[in-house]
Structure 1
Amino acid sequence: MAPGQKDILPRFTIILFVMALMAIAVIAKAGFIMFAERGYWEEVADRFVKENVVVHPNRGNIISSDGKLMASSLPEYKIYMDFLAGGKEKDSLLMAHLTEICEGLHQILPDRSAEAFRKHILQGRRKKSRNYLLYPKRISYIEYKQVKELPVFNLSKYKGGFHELAFNQRKKPFGSLAMRTLGDMYPDMAQGAKNGLELTYDSILRGTDGITHRQKVMNKYLNIVDKPAVDGYDIITTIDVGIQDIAEKALVDQLKNLNAVWGVAIVMDVATGDVKANVNMTRGGDGNYYEMKNLAVSNLMEPGSTFKTASIMVALEDKYITPDYEVDTQSGIVNMHGSWMRDWNWHRGGYGKIDVTRILEVSSNVGVSSIIDKFYRDNPQKFVDGLRRMSIDKPLNLGFVGEASPRILGPKERYFAKTTLPWMSIGYETQIPPIYILNFYNAIANNGVMVKPKFVKAIAKDGDIVEEYPTEVVNPKICSDTTLTQIRTILQKVVSEGLAKPAGSKQFNVSGKTGTAQISQGAAGYKSGGVKYMVSFCGYFPSEAPKYSCLVQIEIPHGPASGGLQAGSVFSRIAERVYAKHLYRDLAHAKDSTAILVPDIKNGDIKEAAYVLQALNVSNNGSSLKGEGPIWGKAQTSANYATFEKVKKSKSLIPNVRGMGAKDAVYLLESMGLKVHLTGVGRVTAQNMTPGSSFKKGQTITLTLNH
């Protein structure tokens, strides 16, 4: 071995040993970082190295037709503390202000005491947690801003340690009002909408995601926007918050009275098809009523007697009958192809021989079914074609999830027994969602023009209208003008003289039709498990110039059932309140022909009084009263004319100011040098100095005023 090799070997061994120690240290440190400090370094990575970070846009608002915010995305926050941020300086500051911080948190979030906050914060400090949840619940933006103003928390998150996690939440300022129409979002809004307008217009409301990345620039880390997020558009609905509230309260009150299973109330603008209210209430397990499902568009039900109007219109349009065509309903019960057809009052002897108008007024099953069976028995498809000609079964494609379409099937699509046609004519053997029934009656009110129900009227961005949705015509003419005039006259009499009187109003005329139907229990028929009923009323108001149409449908678990009383009374309450709120009459129509329209006029400055009357277009003789300054006199009025008479005034004698107002009396007397003391209010009825007597300047005159 060479002389120097003995020295190299130990050195080499030492170097290997040191390198092994270093390798072990590196591995140990890496393991420590990977496991013990994993959370910390993940936060650092998230904080400083972020590529292609998705930035979610703000979801658009849903706004009512009267400009009220019905749904909006508002931020909520979870608040955290990094107890290692800011080092010893922050820690000292935290302990110095701990009492103030805890008291402040208690004031902002009062469900937790200041002492509880103190214990919780000290626990996090002992753990030296870097992401310590300060409060278990999400807090609002306002609460977050208040918390952010507390000592230490008002520092940057790198110095003070306070930081937050933001969540976008969908809020409805009016609570459950129109909830099923508006729809719901998933708890994680990134997953999108569940139903309602939120889902139908999701692509418009959602907006477009943006992308950012984090980059160090000039020794600072900045969020660099690669693609900006585009906020969603707002949608302006046709819903009127006032009308929705009116309809909901009227319906829920009746549902509670009847212990009903569910109820629907829809209000529509006749000309435009704008749905002003859509109430869908179902009884919950606690006995209260909630918006659980959009029954107006999804509920397929046999419509009952509201369908009789369509049946009679088909026969009128085909010229088989006229409003005075008579039918012998006998004693209210007839054998119809082996099955008994009954009127509601058959046990009282029925109605006997009555005309078509009276048939609808009293909602005679026998009358309607006898007409349809007589004229369409040999060709039931012609009756079905007549219904389809009026577009009562045409799908409206409103865009809601779970939306149903009418099922009115003719002999070409289904088996037709001999009893099918007569029972179909009175609202059985068919299934129609509530909004289709309303849309049909709305067409009658709209001079035969059927328009598509509309829930959204416009799209807006930053307050500006981007797109408007026009009214869509489904059928420009559902029937001839003759049939339309006949059926409108009949529907008005149904309310004024028939079973639908509870739906009427003393303030204006109402037109419409009641409906009372037994609800089928499926394969078990109509009797199994007790009889359930659907009561309804569908109509429009005012009859002469219809502005709104409305449908009320209620399912009750037992009898007695009356569409006119139980549903019609709800319609009446809705109609009267909507009319009072939204429909205005010309004040000229409110004038009482026996009233005196010339106002009561006080004595005094008759020139001013004449000027006022001329502005009010009240005839008077004041046109001759000209000149500078006031002209004193008396006034007399008749039914439609005012007469003024000048009174001479002496500068040295007390004037007669009886009948004057305080202003004119004081002005006149003080201009003559007198001091005036007033008692009472109104016009002068007495004065303590006799008119025509002399006086001295500076004297006090007392005037007594009364109404």
Structure 2
Amino acid sequence: MSIKRDIVLRVRIAFILTFLVAGAVVFRIAKIQFIEGEEWRSLGETLGMQVMNVKATRGNIYADDGSLLATSLPFYRLAIDPYLPTNGLYKNNIDSLCYLLSRYYGDLTPTQYKRKIDRARKDGRRYLTLNRQEIGYQDKKHMENWPLFREGRLKGGVLFEKVEKRFLPFSHLGIRTIGSVNANDRGTVGLEYSFNKQLAGVNGKGLYQKMAGGGWKPIYDGTEKRPVDGYDIQTTINVDLQDVTESALLDELQKHNADYGVAIVMEVKTGEIKAISNLSRNTDGDYYERYNYAVGNQGSREPGSTFKLASMIALLEEVDIKLTDTINTGDGSLEFFDKTMRDHKPGGFGTLTVQEVFEKSSNIGVAKLISQHFGNEPEKFINYLKRMNLHQPLDFQMVGEGKPYIKDPSDSTWSGVSLPWMSHGYELKMTPLQMLTLYNAVANNGKMVKPMIVKGVMKADRMVEEFETEVINDRIASKETLRKVKMMMEGVVERGTAQNINHSHYKIAGKTGTAKKVKNGRYVREYYTSFAGYFPAEAPRYSCIVVIDNPKGYQIYGSDVSAPVFKEIADKIYSLELDMHEVGTQERTYVTGVFPHIKAGKRDELTMICNELGISNHAKTEAEWVKTDVINDAVYWKGNTVKYEVIPDVRGMTLRDAIYVLENLGLKVKVNGRGRVATQSLAPGGRIAKGSTIKLQMS
């Protein structure tokens, strides 16, 4: 019996102890919750706070006319402090707010949104993400007028968390040149990288509190440091010319299934780069901008025959030689020590003048001339190249410029064949931009200017730093030498290797280039093709270089592959810039006071007018549409053929005749001014694109 009582006593004692412990726990929980709650919550909030960076807004990148090339667009994530609004404000607005949230996002019903916010408010939560979808600035402005939100951050508790994203208004146009940024908003390539310091700005500092779910809520306690937004940069890129350049290059790359291509358009006087395109093929066969071959080390290659311009300048500076002097190039092959040099024409060119050596791009002719006059002192030839600044980088504004390689006799690789091979573009390396700078200098009457792609750094409309045209070399050669090489470059297009791009409306001057590529230390039958030059040759405005690497098929020369791209770019620029046409319109001379103002029109009507006025007129053609020549005291009619799908030359026509011809070919016509057609926006001879509009300037 005593044992039983002992057991019951022990159980009762254990029960009492358990009850007391449980009561103590309950009491402690109640004390923490209701008596010490604010103190503990305050401590918890303090421990969950952290000073964090507030990102500065990255600066914009502009084209030459102020068009946006890259900008940072603000996007926002919507959150709320559900505990902040007063009870009356909350009850009066929550239903309407949840209805609008449901209608905008479409992910939850109004009831589900209300339940979500009510629960957070009841739990005393100070931060609730309403939806992770990012909204644009216009939607943010609209939401700021919604119920509860219209009370603002301090009363309504609304939080718009700003997230900035880089946006390119012209999509992939010039994307490698413009560049990109990483997740930390730092530039990785292109202008974004080269001018990251100016564009990035300075981040600010702010106090943030960590909330349930891992989010961070900003605490506006007055200690925050505002960020300093980045500067803008204005480039020299022209959007229209960039589009023209990329399209022309892409078409030819696809046609020849080439590995990559480069095209640069530069303004002659200023050195401003108006377009720069680098397209390479990916594994799927599509072309995109992956690497800046125009500027970087990977684009530094043996240029081939475009380098003959430098060789000819050195020759003409050193020797009193006439362009009509001759040299025998033989049967197309010539031994230099243990190597054989060949010309591209089977059987060779035989005897050529100095001018023909350049125009027909005879490797043997150039090599013999250079060897004959510099063979005993090759240092002299190298010194002329250095006087043209071909041995130094351009100190271009973009990071990563390739360094040119011009060897000299002190180089360990120098041999007896170095001089003749260098004379036509081998055993040396240059980037396309460095080669273009030489051609631009010739177009600029010998003044070599530094290529420029950024005009200035701006803050709003205020220029903070402006970049002026820099002169690298006041004169790379004498006036006489420049006159001669200009003649030869025009001859390349008129009679030489680039006859296929000869144009009747304006002159092109330039040089073709085709170089074999090196693989595993040996030259292989893969080619690096190029064409460099300027236009219009009569009054050069733009210089341009086109490089196409490893074209496939039977067309492998610079004249077949790169020169047509140059011509297409030049034609389109010529059609866009009407004031360039003035050179062409001044070529025809009309005698006022003797003949009426007759330039072009329908032959039978013009003949009738001349006959009525007693003016002698003669036909050289039976064409329906004609132009005029004045010879002695008579008018002669020349054919002005109108072909289907080909843009006609309507300059000199009356407005009535011009509209008749153009609209019958399916073109839309816009007219400015009065009188006869002075200029037309689409170059004659080009193909008519469906729905095209042609602008006529009358005078």
Fold match by TM threshold 0.5: yes
CA distance in 1, matches of 2:171, 2:97: 39
Corresponding residue for 1:202? 196
1:526 maps to 2:523 = yes
CA distance in 2, matches of 1:318, 1:118: 88
Corresponding residue for 2:67? 68
Over the aligned positions, Cα root-mean-square deviation in angstroms equals 3.7
Residues 293-372 of structure 1 mapped to structure 2, 5 A cutoff: 293-298=291-296, 299-319=299-319, 321-346=321-346, 349-372=347-370
5+ long unaligned stretches in structure 2: 1-19, 209-218, 600-699
CA distance in 1, matches of 2:325, 2:391: 27
1:174 maps to 2:194 = no
1:376 maps to 2:374 = yes
Task: Please state how far the C-alpha of 1:512 moved relative to its aligned partner.
Answer: 0.4
CA distance in 2, matches of 1:27, 1:321: 107
Corresponding residue for 1:644? none
Residues 62-461 of structure 1 mapped to structure 2, 5 A cutoff: 62-81=61-80, 86=85, 90=90, 93-95=93-95, 98-105=98-105, 114=106, 121=113, 124=116, 128=120, 131=127, 133-151=129-147, 154-157=150-153, 162-189=158-185, 192-211=186-205, 224=222, 228-298=226-296, 299-319=299-319, 321-346=321-346, 349-461=347-459
Answer whether contact 1:153 1:161 (CA < 8 A) is retained.
Answer: yes
Go from structure 1 to structure 2 and tell me whether the alpha carbon gap of 1:97 and 1:79 turns closer, same or farther (over 3 Å shift): closer
CA distance in 2, matches of 1:429, 1:415: 9
CA distance in 1, matches of 2:76, 2:140: 7
CA distance in 2, matches of 1:133, 1:17: 41
SS in 1 for 2:518: coil
- Aligned residues between the structures: 557
CA distance in 2, matches of 1:27, 1:416: 92
1:566 maps to 2:561 = yes
Residues 437-586 of structure 1 mapped to structure 2, 5 A cutoff: 437-523=435-521, 525-527=522-524, 531-560=525-554, 561-584=556-579, 585-586=581-582
CA distance in 1, matches of 2:308, 2:553: 21
Instruction: Give the stretch that moved more between structures: 142-151 or 273-282.
Output: 142-151
CA distance in 1, matches of 2:26, 2:119: 31
CA distance in 1, matches of 2:253, 2:119: 57
Go from structure 1 to structure 2 and tell me whether the alpha carbon gap of 1:225 and 1:477 turns closer, same or farther (over 3 Å shift): farther
Please tell me the residue identity of whatever aligns with 1:78: R
Q: Output one character per residue of 1:384-414: Cα deviation in whole Å (capped at 9) or x when no partner.
A: 1221111122211114232211111112133
Q: Output one character per residue of 1:544-588: Cα deviation in whole Å (capped at 9) or x when no partner.
A: 211110001011253431211211111111111112222514497
SS in 1 for 2:406: coil
Corresponding residue for 1:618? none
Answer whether contact 1:500 1:568 (CA < 8 A) is retained.
Answer: yes
SS in 2 for 1:296: coil
SS in 1 for 2:56: coil
SS in 2 for 1:138: strand
Go from structure 1 to structure 2 and tell me whether the alpha carbon gap of 1:240 and 1:342 turns closer, same or farther (over 3 Å shift): same
Corresponding residue for 1:650? none
TM-score, with normalisation over the residues of structure 2? 0.72
SS in 1 for 2:327: strand
CA distance in 2, matches of 1:139, 1:556: 47
Please tell me the residue identity of whatever aligns with 2:301: M
Task: Please state how far the C-alpha of 1:61 moved relative to its aligned partner.
Answer: 1.8
SS in 2 for 1:224: coil
CA distance in 1, matches of 2:485, 2:111: 77
Task: Please state how far the C-alpha of 1:83 moved relative to its aligned partner.
Answer: 5.6
CA distance in 2, matches of 1:598, 1:515: 44
Q: Larger Cα Rg: Structure 1 or Structure 2? A: 1
Answer whether contact 1:83 1:91 (CA < 8 A) is retained.
Answer: no
Please tell me the residue identity of whatever aligns with 1:271: K
Instruction: Give the stretch that moved more between structures: 75-84 or 583-592.
Output: 583-592
Please tell me the residue identity of whatever aligns with 1:577: K
Task: Please state how far the C-alpha of 1:381 moved relative to its aligned partner.
Answer: 2.2
SS in 2 for 1:243: helix
Please tell me the residue identity of whatever aligns with 2:141: K
Go from structure 1 to structure 2 and tell me whether the alpha carbon gap of 1:227 and 1:104 turns closer, same or farther (over 3 Å shift): closer
Go from structure 1 to structure 2 and tell me whether the alpha carbon gap of 1:168 and 1:17 turns closer, same or farther (over 3 Å shift): same
Please tell me the residue identity of whatever aligns with 1:578: I
TM-score, with normalisation over the residues of structure 1? 0.71
Corresponding residue for 1:617? none
Go from structure 1 to structure 2 and tell me whether the alpha carbon gap of 1:56 and 1:277 turns closer, same or farther (over 3 Å shift): same
CA distance in 2, matches of 1:227, 1:98: 35
Go from structure 1 to structure 2 and tell me whether the alpha carbon gap of 1:597 and 1:23 turns closer, same or farther (over 3 Å shift): farther
CA distance in 1, matches of 2:232, 2:263: 26
Please tell me the residue identity of whatever aligns with 2:434: Y
Q: Output one character per residue of 1:591-617: Cα deviation in whole Å (capped at 9) or x when no partner.
A: 884995599xxxxxxxxxxxxxxxxxx
Q: Output one character per residue of 1:282-325: Cα deviation in whole Å (capped at 9) or x when no partner.
A: 11233222111221110111111101111121111110643223
SS in 2 for 1:57: coil
Go from structure 1 to structure 2 and tell me whether the alpha carbon gap of 1:176 and 1:92 turns closer, same or farther (over 3 Å shift): same
Answer whether contact 1:124 1:132 (CA < 8 A) is retained.
Answer: no
Answer whether contact 2:258 2:552 (CA < 8 A) is retained.
Answer: no
Go from structure 1 to structure 2 and tell me whether the alpha carbon gap of 1:72 and 1:120 turns closer, same or farther (over 3 Å shift): farther
Please tell me the residue identity of whatever aligns with 1:138: E
Answer whether contact 1:264 1:553 (CA < 8 A) is retained.
Answer: yes
CA distance in 2, matches of 1:598, 1:478: 46
SS in 1 for 2:294: helix
CA distance in 2, matches of 1:187, 1:293: 21
CA distance in 1, matches of 2:113, 2:325: 87
Residues 594-633 of structure 1 mapped to structure 2, 5 A cutoff: 596-597=596-597
5+ long unaligned stretches in structure 1: 1-15, 106-113, 215-220, 600-707
Q: Output one character per residue of 1:152-180: Cα deviation in whole Å (capped at 9) or x when no partner.
A: 55554566555332122222211222222
Please tell me the residue identity of whatever aligns with 2:388: M
Task: Please state how far the C-alpha of 1:132 moved relative to its aligned partner.
Answer: 5.0
Go from structure 1 to structure 2 and tell me whether the alpha carbon gap of 1:23 and 1:442 turns closer, same or farther (over 3 Å shift): farther
Task: Please state how far the C-alpha of 1:145 moved relative to its aligned partner.
Answer: 3.2
SS in 1 for 2:545: strand
Answer whether contact 1:104 1:147 (CA < 8 A) is retained.
Answer: no
Q: Output one character per residue of 1:352-371: Cα deviation in whole Å (capped at 9) or x when no partner.
A: 11112111111111111222
